[in-house]
Structure 1
Amino acid sequence: MKLADTRAIALFLDMLAGEQGAAANTLSAYGRDLSGASADLGGGLADASAGQLESLFAGWADLAPASVARKRSSLRRFFAFLVAEGIRPDNPAAGLAAVKPGRPLPKTLSHGDVDRLFQTLDRLLAERPGPAMIRMKALMELLYGSGLRASELVSLPRNAIRPPQPFAIVTGKGNKERMVPISAAALEAVRAQLAQVPPSGRWLFPSGKGHLGRVRLFQLVKGLAAEAGLDPARLSPHVLRHAFATHMLAGGADLRALQTLLGHADISTTERYTHVDSQRLVQTVTALHPLADG
């Protein structure tokens, strides 16, 4: 039995309200989680495979542990309901790993890794010129060049970036706006992307009736990693955001400025997303400490 996501989600919420007496806030949260997951999967949530859910789950790496835990619970209960109702025979969410407190930071990339990615991207763009590679170039330049969250990137309005203006106004978590600088290379890539998006279009990266999904972005990044000879398990949009942060900090960026660029409400979050190697710390102390010559 195949059921459209909107109908399946509505039936699930009706069950929670009628049989389990779920509170209005709970119903609203579950509804948002499931509708968002459905949108990311192009309306294919009810028929999703375990692999698709794992990719979806990985795309939430930038969210707070409590939010990820709630989304995981939403998915597991939703699919348990579908199984109980005979709508599908299996629960693909049963194996989703629990969120552990203090989740480790994602692996970062060396400058050499980043160079390989962009060299490969330029080669592919030359070999396969067309809309898909033009879009990929813009996505990658904005991910690494501006440190955008995956959700912020895929949902950029068509006019969010207006070359030659070297910045964009991005709406991040909590509907908070911030100004994000756009590099010259990213501006050039966005110009090319804009040329293939109708002026009346709503999104910079359209897909179907909406915009590109986070899961699809996750898959595209991993595909590029494989083309570049890098381990796809090491690559994700969030890893590129993390690389942006660590490379900016290593280059001398101020932590407070980086906090603003990343859109973090709390400086401690920025400190978790960035790390400086011990050698650079030793060099800094040696160069700047007033007793270093003593």
Structure 2
Amino acid sequence: MERTVNSFLQHLVVERGFAQNTLDAYSSDLNQFRAFVKDNLDAPAEQETWRLVDINLLNSYITDLRDNRGYRETTTARKVAAVRSFFGYLSRNGLITDDPTENLGSPRVGRSVPKFITEDEVKQLLGTAADTGTPEGRRDASILELLYATGLRVSEMVGLNVQDIDFEEGFIRTWGKGAKERIVYVYPEALSHLRAYIGGARVELLGNKRGETALYVNQRGERLTRQWVWNILKASAKKAGIDTKITPHTLRHSFATHLLQNGASLRHVQELLGHSSISTTQVYTHLTDSHVREEYERSHPRA
């Protein structure tokens, strides 16, 4: 059983270019499902095990996730989606004759409205972060400025190398979900922060590790991790006196929301965020409803 799951995970890396954090989630979900199947199905061999999984066992698994383990609907839906993908792989490769997930129900999950901070809070956050003279502080200021300037995911941010930046044209080349390459544009102030960081603080942080290609490095001259960026943002928000819980994704949501509020088209925001479907980007329209109302009342001659 484990061998088949590992084969599928390898397929996700090689054929579909899944990022490590997505792969980790699939691995966790499928190994949990594998343990459930092993405990609830008596099969003579691994290959036979997957053939014997049916809709009743799958429904029992969903019940176990909800009632016994207490998972939320969003988590349960994600785990069910991983199982669907796995059995689709088994079916396409002739490892099973019938896909038991074809008629499997899944929790209906409403799309949550992303949390964002106001433009004034962004100014407060970036202004406070810039008010430091240490190499780490100058690095942190550059990171926060670039996150808001580009709407990058934190995984994309920590994956950047120095050679991905084109200062002349004012853009960065990055690789998003599914290893899809895209161009993100950077406004002049963020570029200025970035140039100063590369020529100053980064050199100090690298020490004798001059061969490191990572754009953002820690005090040992090694590439920053996603968790490190989370901690930087948490500390900066606290220092700025912002009570709202802020994550790197909060800046990404703020980036998208503020663009739409200031007149950017949904299609252009979709491209900047790297969303494969515009339906993913449409969730941000809920955030701009009040802005649209204000514009209506301001602009309509009889409003």
Instruction: Give the match for residue 211 of structure 1.
Output: 223
Instruction: Give the match for residue 189 of structure 1.
Output: 193
SS of structure 1 residue aligned to 2:160:
coil
Alignment: residue pair count: 229
Given residue 163 of structure 2, which amino acid in structure 1 is its aligned partner?
A: N
Structure 1-normalised TM-score? Answer: 0.65
Which of residues 113, 124, 127 is equivalent to 2:121?
113
Deviations 1:97-119 (A, max 9, x none): 76263452331101221122122
Specify whether residues 116 and 72 from structure 1 end up closer, same or farther in structure 2 by C-alpha distance, changes over 3 A only: farther
TM-superposed CA distance for 1:272, in Å, is 1.6
Instruction: Give the match for residue 8 of structure 2.
Output: 25
Specify whether residues 28 and 216 from structure 1 end up closer, same or farther in structure 2 by C-alpha distance, changes over 3 A only: farther
> How does 1:36-55 map onto structure 2 within 5 Å?
36=20
Specify whether residues 144 and 76 from structure 1 end up closer, same or farther in structure 2 by C-alpha distance, changes over 3 A only: farther
Q: Is residue 9–residue 27 contact of structure 2 (8 Å, CA) maintained in 1? A: no
Distance in 1 between the 2:231 and 2:243 partners?
A: 13
Distance in 2 between the 1:122 and 1:265 partners?
A: 34
Larger helix proportion, structure 1 or 2?
Answer: 2
Distance in 2 between the 1:192 and 1:111 partners?
A: 24
Instruction: Give the match for residue 264 of structure 2.
Output: 253
Larger Rg: 2
Instruction: Give the match for residue 62 of structure 2.
Output: none
Give unpaired runs (5+ residues) of structure 2: 14-18, 34-68, 78-108
Instruction: Give the match for residue 243 of structure 1.
Output: 254
- Aligned-pair identity (%): 32
Specify whether residues 23 and 137 from structure 1 end up closer, same or farther in structure 2 by C-alpha distance, changes over 3 A only: closer
Query: Could you say what the CA RMSD is over the residues aligned between the two structures, in angstroms?
Result: 3.8
> How does 1:138-287 map onto structure 2 within 5 Å?
138-195=142-199, 196-197=202-203, 200-207=211-218, 210-231=222-243, 234-284=245-295
TM-superposed CA distance for 1:211, in Å, is 1.9
SS of structure 1 residue aligned to 2:166:
coil
Is the counterpart of residue 73 in structure 1 residue 29 in structure 2?
yes
SS of structure 1 residue aligned to 2:182:
strand
Specify whether residues 187 and 75 from structure 1 end up closer, same or farther in structure 2 by C-alpha distance, changes over 3 A only: farther
Specify whether residues 224 and 257 from structure 1 end up closer, same or farther in structure 2 by C-alpha distance, changes over 3 A only: same
Distance in 1 between the 2:268 and 2:140 partners?
A: 28
Distance in 2 between the 1:95 and 1:140 partners?
A: 36
Q: Is residue 117–residue 251 contact of structure 2 (8 Å, CA) maintained in 1? A: yes
SS of structure 2 residue aligned to 1:134:
helix
Deviations 1:142-165 (A, max 9, x none): 111111111111110112113343
Give unpaired runs (5+ residues) of structure 1: 1-14, 38-62, 78-93
Structure 2-normalised TM-score? Answer: 0.63
Distance in 1 between the 2:243 and 2:234 partners?
A: 8
Distance in 1 between the 2:196 and 2:31 partners?
A: 38
Specify whether residues 22 and 189 from structure 1 end up closer, same or farther in structure 2 by C-alpha distance, changes over 3 A only: same
